[in-house]
A and B are shown apart, each in its own frame.
Chain A
Amino acid sequence: MNAIRQIFGIVWILLGLAAGYFLVFEQSLKLFEKGGMDNIVPAIIYTFILAPLLTGGMCIFGVYALQNEYKRVD
Chain B
Amino acid sequence: MNSNLSSEQVDKKKLRKVIAASSVGTLIEWYDFYIFGSLSVVIATKFFPSDNPTAAFLSTLATFAAGFVVRPFGALFFGRLGDLIGRKYTFMVTLLIMGFSTFAIGLIPGYETIGFIAPLLVLILRLLQGLALGGEYGGAATYVAEHSEPGKRGYRTAWIQTTASLGLFISLLVILATKKSMSAEAFANFGWRIPFLISIVMVGISYFIRKNMDESPMFEKAKAAGEIVANPLKESFGKKLNFKFVLLALFGATMGQGVVWYTGQFYALSFLQKVANIEFEQSNYIIAASLAGGTGFFIFFGWLSDKIGRKVVMLTGMLLAICTYRPIYQAMYETADVSLKTEVAGSKVIKTDYFMIPKSVDLKKTVKTEFSYTDGSTLTLEESSLTTIFPGKNPQKPEVKRIVHVGSSSFWFLILLVFIQVLYVTMVYGPIAAFLVEMFPTAIRYTSMSLPYHIGNGIFGGLLPAVATYLAAKASTANEVAVAAGQAIPYDKPYLEGLWYPIIIGGVCFVIGLLYVNGKDKEIND
Contacts and interface: CB of A to CB of B under 8 A. Distances in A.
Contacts of B466: 42
B57 A61 contact: no
Contact of A64 (B53, B57, B64, B240): B240
B247 A64 contact: yes
Given A53-B459, A69-B240, A60 B247 contact: yes
Residue of B64, B466, B516 with most partner-chain A CB within 10 A: B516
Given A5-B515, A65-B516, A70-B516, A49 B459 contact: yes
Nearest to A70: B516
Contacts of B248: 61, 70
B244 A49 contact: no
Contact of B68 (A8, A49, A70): A49
Place the interface of chain B in its size category: 20 to 34
A8 B53 CA distance: 47
Interface string B398-441: 00000000000000000000000000000000000000000000
Given A37-B56, A38-B60, A45-B64, A57 B240 contact: no
B56 A4 contact: no
Nearest to A1: B515
Interface of A is mostly: helix
A4 B511 CA distance: 12
B463 interface: yes
A50 interface: yes
Nearest to A4: B515
A58 B518 contact: no
A49 B459 CA distance: 9
B275 interface: no
A69 B250 CA distance: 16
A61 B69 CA distance: 22
B251 interface: yes
A41 interface: yes
Contacts of B515: 1, 4-5, 8, 70
B516 A41 contact: no
Nearest to A19: B508
Interface residues of A, number: 23
Residue of B247, B248, B508, B511 with most partner-chain A CB within 10 A: B247
A72 to B, nearest CB: 6
Contacts of B322: none
B455 interface: yes
B114 interface: no
A15 interface: yes
Nearest to A71: B516
B61 interface: yes
A3 B463 CA distance: 34
Interface string B223-260: 00000000000000000100110011011000000000
B508 A15 contact: yes
B357 to A, nearest CB: 26
Interface string B510-526: 01100110100000000
B219 to A, nearest CB: 28
Interface in B44-65: 53, 56-57, 60-61, 64
Interface in A24-53: 37-38, 41-42, 45, 49-50, 53
Contacts of B64: 41-42, 45
Contacts of A64: 240, 244, 247
A12 B516 CA distance: 12
A72 B518 contact: yes
Contact of B60 (A8, A37, A49, A65): A37
A65 B245 CA distance: 11
B474 to A, nearest CB: 11
Contacts of A12: 251, 512
**What are the 9 A-B residue pairs with the smallest beta carbon separation, nearest first?**
A61-B247, A37-B57, A41-B60, A70-B516, A64-B244, A69-B244, A37-B60, A5-B515, A41-B64
8 contacts: A15-B508, A37-B57, A41-B60, A41-B64, A45-B69, A50-B459, A57-B250, A60-B243
Interface of B: 53, 56-57, 60-61, 64, 68-69, 240, 243-244, 247-248, 250-251, 455, 459, 463, 466, 508, 511-512, 515-516, 518
